[in-house]
C-alpha cells in the first residue's frame, strides 16, 4: 500500500478515536456512595459522597474534613504547594467529595481527589 494512504488512514482513525473517547468520558459518572457502606467495608476504590461538614482539622500539608450524613467519615485533602487557600470550608457546609477509600488502623477514610461546596 502507498505510504500516503496509510498515513491518511492512521490520522482519520486517531481523530475518530479521540472524538469517541471525548464523548464517552462525558457520560462516565461515579454514583453517590452511602457513607455506611464505606464504613462497613462494602465500598472500595473510587467513591463519591455528599454530606455536611461536622468538623475540620487543618495543617500545612493536609486538611481533614469529617463528613456526616447518617454516619461520619473522615476525608483527607492533601495540599500541594501554592494551593493552600484555594477554597474555604466551614463547619455546617454541605460538600461533595470524590476520592479513594483507604483503610487506616482498621477504620475507613477517603483520600480526596476533589472537594466542592454544594
Please identify, in words, the CATH class of the domain defined by 35-117.
mainly beta
Domain residue ranges in the chain: 1-30, 35-117
The reported pTM is 0.64
Other beta carbons within 10 angstroms of residue 50's beta carbon come to 14
Nearest by Cα to 36 from 56, 51, 53, 46: 51
> Max Cα separation, the chain?
67
Sign of CA dihedral 97, 86, 104, 93: negative
Nearest by Cα to 34 from 21, 17, 47: 47
The enclosing H or E element of 16 equals helix 3-27
For residue 37, pLDDT beyond 70: yes
Per-residue pLDDT tens over the stretch 79-117: 765 544 456 788 889 999 999 988 888 888 999 988 888
Amino acid at each position: 500500500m502507498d505510504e500516503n494512504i496509510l498515513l491518511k488512514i492512521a490520522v482519520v482513525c486517531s481523530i475518530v478515536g479521540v472524538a469517541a473517547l471525548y464523548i464517552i468520558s462525558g457520560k462516565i459518572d461515579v454514583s453517590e456512595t452511602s457513607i455506611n457502606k464505606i464504613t462497613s467495608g462494602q465500598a472500595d476504590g473510587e467513591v463519591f459522597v455528599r454530606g455536611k461538614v461536622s468538623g475540620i482539622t487543618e495543617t500545612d500539608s493536609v486538611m481533614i474534613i469529617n463528613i456526616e450524613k447518617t454516619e461520619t467519615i473522615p476525608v483527607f485533602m492533601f495540599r500541594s504547594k501554592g494551593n493552600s487557600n484555594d477554597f474555604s470550608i466551614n463547619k455546617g457546609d454541605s460538600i461533595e467529595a470524590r476520592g479513594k477509600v483507604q483503610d487506616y488502623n482498621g477504620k475507613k477514610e477517603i483520600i480526596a481527589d476533589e472537594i466542592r461546596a454544594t
